[in-house]
Structure 1
Amino acid sequence: MNTPASPAPAATDALVLVVEDEPRLAAVLCDYLRASGYRCEWIADGAQVMSAYAQRQHDLILLDVMLPHRDGISLCQELRAHSQVPIIMVTARVDEVDRLLGLQIGADDYVCKPFSPREVIARVGTVLRRYRQTPAPRAQPLQIDEPNFRAQLHGRELDLTPVEFRLLCALASSPVRIWPREQLLNHLYPDHRVVIDRTVDSHIKNLRRKLTETGGQEDPIRSVYGVGYRLDLAV
């Protein structure tokens, strides 16, 4: 691959995340991206992608399929669960594109190795223009995956007990609705054990702490005196 020959600078300072475990290839891509007016960050380990994106909210991700510790397909699927960030998949095999398309993992484009760096830059520009012309729907801060017992706030995993998870699911099922303690109790214990309504207060306290620590913002659970609780978060 040749050194970038001063391509016309792009009218953008978009931040592109290059996820590629081949250092020489990653260096070439980053050189071309910077020469075209983009900012660039490189990650070689798939296990570091989610935390990096959560911290810096890149404008586009160039994502290799084969990576150490975590593959690009599962990363693309997780990113799509809570983000509309543009993703261009990079694969070493032409027949892999058919498999990626068949999986419908939500990538915006696919590039096969070996490729021309100029072609990649052109695709980056095309995908970014497409996103700017069509505003993406706003990602909701709270994502709940009930079948897999998982919840994320602003892209960060919530470490919840089973009771806290059921409590969050109940509150999130009707955001802004005021939930009396008695109704929340019905959601907390599937075996319908007899507990006092103040038990909810203890679980609310723990859930509040975890939401504020993970989200880094003010407490999203509101107490309504003499009535119960409500969740002020979009789901």
Structure 2
Amino acid sequence: MEHIDKIKALQAKAGIEADGIVSSKTWLNIHYLLFGSLPYDINIDSIIKSIQKKIKVRIDGYPWHKTWDILYDLLIVKAEKSDVNKSIDLHNEEMLDNLPEEVVPFAKELITLAADHGITIRITNNTKNKFVPKDSNFTGNEGNYSIYNFGLAFDVKILEKSVADEPESDSPHYEKIAKLGESIGLTWTGNKKAYTTATDFVLRPAWAVRMKEVDMVKELCRRKKENINLLAIL
């Protein structure tokens, strides 16, 4: 595969235009895919070096072929193999089918990370999610919406081995699940002092980290109206 095709594949995964042109937008989105967060230093040379350090190649700020090869292998090839090799039970498969496409990779990764730590979780309906009607014009009524109107949240419950097929609402493992979720860019909305009760994760877009809630919702409305990926860094 040509390197430009690998670049296009990475851009497509990030939800931005797959044109093969490596712009600052491309690097910001690759950083987000790799780290689950935006970089503190938005200097492109610094971003490239932090990515190279993460993937353990020569740290020189120049995206030579080895950099693209490893990024493609890590974010595309291995991710696809992980989806095939990691068993996701029927319940979670059905729940994933009903989540927005932007949220699915995060939910899958959380299921996988939990399994790697010997914890089985179930994705459940988030009762706060009230999807915006497809025919909404999103004009002048943004104040009526919240992040939950865009499906950027899901509940999790832990399936204890001692109780066959019955998720537990209270478990000491929720603290671990909360930290695993936050390590991949999700926000745990539960009680961080107790960490024992089932609750939901919210996927706040990286581009909205420094935004007020009302401004974030306006941008989500715009993206929904124009059919733009909700998470892509534009």
Same fold by TM-score greater than 0.5: no
Considering only CA atoms, is the larger Rg found in Structure 1 or Structure 2? 1
Greater length-normalized contact order (CA 8 Å, ≥ 6 residues apart): 2
TM-score by length of 2: 0.29
Which structure shows the bigger proportion of residues in strand conformation?
1
TM-score by length of 1: 0.28
